[in-house]
Amino acid sequence: MVAPFNFARTPAVFFGAGVSNTLHSHLMPFGRTVLIVTGQASLKKTGRLDKLLSSLKDNEIKHYIFQITGEPSPEIVDAAVSEFKSKDINAIVGIGESSVIDGAKAISAMLPLGVGVFNYLEGVGGGVTHTGVKVPFIAVPTTSGTGSETTKNAVLSRIGPDGFKKSLRHDNFVPDVALIDPALTLSSPQDVTAACAMDAFTQLMESYVSVKASPMTDSLAIGALRLAMENLEAACTTGAGDIRARSAMSYAAAISGITLANAGLGVVHGLASTVGGCFDIPHGVLCGTVAGAATRANITALRRDGTAAALQKYADIGSLITGEKDLNPALEALIEKIDYWTETLKLQRLGKYGIKQGHLDRLASNASNKESPVKLTKEEIIAILLDRL
């Protein structure tokens, strides 16, 4: 018998190399005045942004541009809302890495209200409930990372001792359209590609072993995990210019967004919310660099006091590497593979970003296990951080 489950809606997804060239056709049903939210200059340097904007002009679509650099903050979102609330924007397009998609998603949600976003953020604001009314939103990712192009939440950050990474969330905030064009990821730098790839893999793994996983999320996650296992290293190294490897990782990232939205995540992302609010460390780097240590800690804890079913799920992922079906060899293969990626892809240690041993107790105290199949203690979480310090 298939166990009962719920499944959130997804965007209208258009996937494939070159699909971003159809942006104008997806915008026209919404109107002729759009706001393009972009990131740093890399998209422009490749000429792809100019090509997209030229297509809009050819189709008589008026556009404004707003740039987001780094992690989006409430202040950045508020600035965009203040600048464009009187411009009669018919649709918003987020073209860039996951942080750009998150920022654009939040602007889409707040533009109709014309007010500051802070009070609508989970856990830190004033607890105000959003109506769900938004400006139509199209996501065009240029990296393969958090899968924000398929989720209903926008993560905003304020960095510092009392900082946070919190979500603006509503079922209606799922993008109306996601144009997932692997060709846009070809120019992504190696370090960015590696961090994003490890984040996507970790999201798939954490949602697969989650206590809220369902038969539907399991089916999606394990298929995407297979593709990630086969293509992650190549996409970050010798196959960086291979559209097949890039397509596999674009697909894996998009699916990771769908599975996390429906099954939740685990301790890696519970740490990311806390550490990422206190220190200016890219989300993908943080998740990728602790993924191996966290997986080892989870498996150790599950062997001690967890369930056989959860251990078997980790072994399912390990079996994708070598075909090994026996439990313990498959578990060891998984841990070894993540450790290998961490070193081969040169994921930075936490100390590079100003994190010191004296910070670990507080960080671990504020971290969450989220939907992990085993609840790690504060001491076990400190050990994860110390391992990657």
Other beta carbons within 10 Å of 161: 9
pLDDT for 41 beyond 70: no
- Domain ranges across the chain: 12-124+131-185, 190-387
- CATH of 190-387 given 3.40.50.300, 3.10.129.10, 1.20.1090.10, 3.60.21.10: 1.20.1090.10
> pTM for this one?
0.96
Torsion of CA 277, 116, 179, 207, to 10 degrees: 40
Helix (H, G, I), strand (E, B) or coil at 147: coil
For 103, half-sphere exposure in the C-beta direction (CA atoms, 13 angstrom radius) is 30
Separation in Å, CA 102 to CA 156, 194, 227, 263, 275: 7, 20, 25, 20, 19
Which neighbouring-strand residues pair with 157? 165
Q: Tens digit of pLDDT for each residue in 247-274? A: 999 999 999 999 999 999 999 999 998 9
> What does the pLDDT average to over 4-22?
95
3 state DSSP class of 358 = helix
Spell out the CATH class of 12-124+131-185. alpha beta
- What is the band of 388 on the pLDDT scale with cuts at 50, 70, 90? very high
Distance, in Å, from the CA atom of 132 to the CA atom of 343, rounded to the nearest integer, reads 43
Of 110, 143, 158, nearest to 273 by C-alpha is 158
Alpha carbon of 18 to those of 47, 252, 309: distances in Å? 14, 18, 42
For 350, list phi and psi in degrees, rounded to 5: -65, -30
Q: How confident is the model over 183-212, as pLDDT tens digits?
A: 999 999 999 999 999 999 999 999 999 999
